[in-house]
Amino acid sequence: MASDDIDRSTRLALYRSQIEIRLLEKRAYELFLQNLIKGTSHLSLGQEAVAAGFAVAMRPDDYTYCTYRGHSHTLARGAPMLGVLGELMGRRCGLMGGKGGSMHLTSVAHGVMGSYAIVGAHLPVAAGAAWSAQLRGSGQVSLCFFGDGTCNIGAFHEALNFAAVWKLPVIFVCENNQYMEYTPIRSVTAVEHPAADRAAAYGLERIVVDGNDADAVYRKARESIDKARGGGGPSLIEAMTYRTSGHSRADPAKYRPPGELEEWTKRDPIALYRARLLELGFEESELRAMDSAVQRAVDEATEGAKASPTPPLEVIDKDVWADGGSSWRN
Amino acid sequence: MAELTYREAVAAGIAQEMERDERVVFLGEDVAAAGGVFKTTVGLLEKFGPCRVRDTPISEQAIVGAAMGAAMTGLRPIAEIMFSDFFGVSWDMIANEIAKARYMCAGQLALPLVIRTANGSGSRFGAQHSQSVENWVMAVPGLKVVAPSNPADVKGLLAAAVRDPDPVIFFEHKGLYATKGEVPDGEHVDRLGTAKVLRQGSDVTIVALAAMVPRALQAAQRLEKEGISATVVDLRSLVPLDTKTLLVETKKTGRLYTVEENPRLCGWGAEIASIVAEEAFYDLDGPIVRITTPHVPLPAADELEDNTVPTVERIVETVRRTAG
């Protein structure tokens, strides 16, 4: 087997993480069509390599901050599929017992410090967590994932400057999937690369990475995480990728120019990675066994979530305050 | 007992808590080297160093957001927003993020943080640096709201806010910074959610907050001379709300007045009027009367600003006219 800087077990972890995200997101889509998932949902189909590449490079106590397109990052940190699907389906077994829903997945036990549904909001929060790690001397790094559209909102610029001035151990990762909701990002942005071309304004290196290549993402993740952990300050990374589904459940993505989806599908991150693993000498049978195991896990989580009761109504009044309640008067 | 100004009590409260707990950190614009634009944080940088007392860029979203991130990862931050009007700039962080995080994740995240801010009128700064926005914050589930009227309460309630496990929005009143009062020596910690009866009367009950408290007290003294005996309640905290004290003191006199610096519509007094109307209606001897700033942005000129916010004269005149 060809050997390089990424070892065998890491490659398998990168492959498995991508497959888990792909199969779970597909299942989430099916459950929508069956009306078992309500509300909205933002899938990461086609963008799996970014979540996998970073999560595999992180330490268990590092922090993840993500957006409403956060199923992938939550899963990649090891949150249970049952908890994720249960939350999407509004069941008692959900990660937050049905109180958050698709756009707010949180699993503090896995370092997932929240999915934030207001564009840009979590960049300052991730910087704050990094400040805390810096002050406590814990060596933790804060990872913050967001879309290309986020680069045009004020909080992005405030957080970048703040993190750079305070030299915080935070990594801002822009998943450039080409579209700000339904609008091509290029048509509403003054620079070609909405994140990377702004890096210089904050004294940071311009970094663009192939977001459909899990190895490339992983290498960049390790480099930036090592730098942050070593006191070298923040990084801003733009990962070029493409979401092959619509922006959200309601979006048939008719705005795509003809042929674009097909072009990107040729660069599907999982197909690419599988081909690379085979080239490197991994056994087809080993990968197929992993595919089946993940599919079984998704099926089991689906059945488990379907069997889970709906949340008890008592939780409506719980957990506004630290005392567990919601009382605002005596 | 030492006599401190309201602004000195702010620094004293922060210092007391920073000394006690190394997780307490403080950030804001001009708060460290400059000691605060209102000189409320003088000496903290020298005492606790630049790691724990930090100047920030003019980035209100980053200030509040960073406090949130720090709070959920083991620190107990105090963030200063220089003027409460700037809550408009950081409102997403305050109302959408901080207020809702614990609830949305079913208690996985804790946010023990304080946002201090200079609120209110009296400085001729005009409509964007003089507002009373306590009612904005009161309307959002998940935020505690405190507004002290005197130096002792500043120190004691600020300490309580820092020790509280939930996010607390701490409104200091610009018009009170220079006022003086006795502050207990040694460690002083008050309790959130407790109103104080400052004056016991028999004819009317006047409920006030922050800078309206000394005005209500002065009005009560003048009314006394006219034969109207007034109870004055300093609310101190809007969330949690001490409805117990409020209802007891209203029932004793049968007449309730609120004195509010926030503009009329949906001011905190409207909630209080609604609670009293629902729960003490048959103990009332007359309509509940709200004395508020009219529903206008605040004007700047001396005469205009002074006559927009409730004055002692307006309180006296309103009570005299309606309490009969």
Q: What single DSSP character describes residue A329?
A: B
Distance from CA of B30 to the nearest CA of A (A): 15
Do B108 and B227 fall into the same domain? Answer: no
CA distance B163 to chain A (A): 12
Structure tokens at B188: 């002083």
Q: How far apart are CA A28 and CA A148, in angstroms?
A: 24
Structural domain span for residue A57:
8-303
Give the integer Cα–Cα distance in Å for B21 and B54. Answer: 17
Q: Is the alpha carbon torsion for A209, A210, A214, A215 positive or negative? A: negative
For the cut 50, the answer to whether the pLDDT of residue A1 exceeds it is: no
| Å between A150 CA and nearest CA of chain B | 14
Is A315 among the domain residues? no
Write the DSSP symbol of residue A312: P
Of A95, A121, A166, the CB nearest to B93: A121
Report residue B78: phi and psi, to 5°.
-115, 120
- The domain boundary, picked from B130, B154, B183, lies at B183
Q: Indicate if the pLDDT at residue A40 is higher than 90.
A: no
Task: Provide the CB-side half-sphere exposure for A18 (13 A, CA).
Answer: 28
Q: What would the mean pLDDT of A80-97 be, rounded to a whole number?
A: 98
B66 to A124: CB separation less than 8 angstroms, yes or no: yes
> The domain spanning residue B237 has which CATH number?
3.40.50.920
Whether B167 is in a domain gets the answer yes
% of chain B exceeding 70 in pLDDT: 100
Helix (H, G, I), strand (E, B) or coil at B9: helix
Is there a contact between A47 and A67 (Cβ–Cβ < 8 Å)?
no
The answer to whether A329 touches B240, Cβ cutoff 8 Å, is yes
Total number of domains in chain B: 2
A86 CA to chain B: closest CA distance, Å? Answer: 14
pLDDT of residue B205: 98
CA-based nearest residue to B266, from B172, B168, B133 = B133
Question: Considering only residues 187 to 226 of chain A, which have any Cβ-Cβ distance to chain B shorter than 8 Å?
Answer: none
B33 is a domain residue? yes
Residues B200 and B294 in one domain: yes
Residues in contact with A41: Cβ distance below 8 Å, sequence separation at least 6, in sequence order: A28, A29, A32, A71, A88, A102, A248, A249
Kindly tell me the burial class for residue B125, based on how many C-beta atoms sit within 10 Å of its own C-beta (0-12, 13-18, 19 or more).
Answer: middle
Burial degree of A227 (CB within 10 A; 0-12, 13-18, 19+): middle
Q: Clarify whether residues B120 and B147 are in a common domain.
A: yes
* Chain A residues whose beta carbon lies within 8 Å of the beta carbon of residue B101: 114
**Same domain? B162 vs B37:** yes
Please give the ipTM for the structure prediction. 0.96
CATH of the domain at B31: 3.40.50.970
Interface check for A151 against chain B (CB to CB < 8 A): the answer is no
Distance CA B144, CA B138 (A): 8
- Cβ distance of B142 and A320 shorter than 8 Å: yes
How far off is chain A from B68, nearest CA to CA, in Å?
6
| Residue of A123, A133, A329 lying closest to B241 (CB–CB) | A329
Strands (E), chain A: 63-67, 112-116, 142-147, 170-176, 179-180, 183-184, 207-210, 235-240
Nearest alpha carbon to residue A211 among A180, A242, A182: A242
CB-based burial, B264-292: b 16+ in 10 Å, e otherwise: eeebbbbbbbebbeeebeeebeeebbbbb
Q: Provide the token pair at A12.
A: 């398998």
Cβ contact A171:A238 at 8 Å: no
Examine the domain organization and report whether B248 and B298 are in the same domain.
yes
Q: Is residue A317 part of a domain?
A: no
Q: Domains in chain A: how many in total? A: 1
Q: Considering the domain boundaries, does residue B284 fall inside one?
A: yes
Nearest chain A residue to B168 by CA: give it: A321
pLDDT band of residue A3 (cuts 50, 70, 90) is low
**Closest to B147 measured CA to CA, from B126, B121, B117:** B117
Q: Coil, helix or strand for B87?
A: helix
Cis peptide before A309 (omega within 30 of 0): no
Sign of the CA dihedral B124, B126, B127, B133?
A: negative
Residue A326 maps to a domain: no
Q: Is residue B69 part of a domain?
A: yes
Report chain B residues whose CB lies below 8 A from the CB of A162. 56-57, 59, 62, 66
Rg (C-alpha) for chain B, rounded Å, is 19
Contact A318/B at CB under 8 A: yes
Residue A224, in any domain of the structure: yes
What is the number of alpha carbons within 13 Å of residue B32 lying toward its C-beta?
18
Could you tell me if B36 and B131 lie in one domain?
A: yes
Distance CA B89, CA B221 (A): 41
Average predicted confidence (pLDDT) for chain B: 98
Where among B120, B149, B183 does a domain terminate?
Answer: B183
Q: How far apart are CA A107 and CA A267, in angstroms?
A: 31
Residues B102 and B216 in one domain: no
Q: What is the pLDDT of residues A217-262, one digit of tens each?
A: 999 999 999 999 999 999 999 999 999 988 887 888 899 999 999 9
Of A124, A133, A103, A276, give the one whose Cα is nearest residue B51.
Answer: A133
Q: Are residues B179 and B202 in the same domain?
A: no
CB contact under 8 A, A132 and B69: yes
Do A330 and B65 make contact, defined as CB atoms within 8 angstroms? no
**155-184 in A: which are within 8 Å (CB) of B?**
155, 158-159, 161-162, 165-166
What range defines the domain where residue B31 resides? Answer: 2-183
B129 is catalytic: yes
Per the prediction, chain A carries an average pLDDT of 96
* Interface contact A114, partner B, CB < 8 A: yes
Query: Over its length of 324 residues, how does chain B's per-residue pLDDT go in tens digits?
Result: 899 999 999 999 999 999 999 999 999 999 999 999 999 999 999 999 999 999 999 999 999 999 999 999 999 999 999 999 999 999 999 999 999 999 999 999 999 999 999 999 999 999 999 999 999 999 999 999 999 999 999 999 999 999 999 999 999 999 999 999 999 999 999 999 999 999 999 999 999 999 999 999 999 999 999 999 999 999 999 999 999 999 999 999 999 999 999 999 999 999 999 999 999 999 999 999 999 999 999 999 999 999 999 999 999 999 999 997
Report the b/e string of A320-330 with b at 16+ CB within 10 A. Answer: bbeeeeeebee
Q: Are residues B151 and B205 in the same domain?
A: no
Judged by DSSP in three states, A113 sits in: strand
For B202, other C-beta atoms within 10 Å of its C-beta total 12
Verify that B242 and B133 share a domain, yes or no: no
Residue-wise pLDDT for A277-317, tens only, equals 999 999 999 999 999 999 999 999 999 999 999 999 999 99
Per-residue pLDDT at A151? 97
Nearest CA in chain A to B167: A321
B188 located within any domain: no
> A99 and B106 in contact by Cβ < 8 A?
yes
CATH number for the domain spanning A236: value is 3.40.50.970
Q: Which distant-in-sequence residues (6+ apart) come within 8 Å of A271 by Cβ? A: none
Cβ contact B294:B263 at 8 Å: yes
Compare CB distances from A127 to B69, B101, B103 and report the shortest one's residue: B69
Specify the pLDDT at position B282.
98
- Looking at the structure, do residues B27 and B73 belong to the same domain, yes or no? yes
Is B189 part of any domain? Answer: no
Q: Enumerate the residues of chain B whose CB falls inside 8 A of the CB of residue A321.
A: 102, 142, 165-166
Cβ contact A122:A67 at 8 Å: yes
Same-domain pairing of B204 and B142: no
pLDDT of residue A246: 86
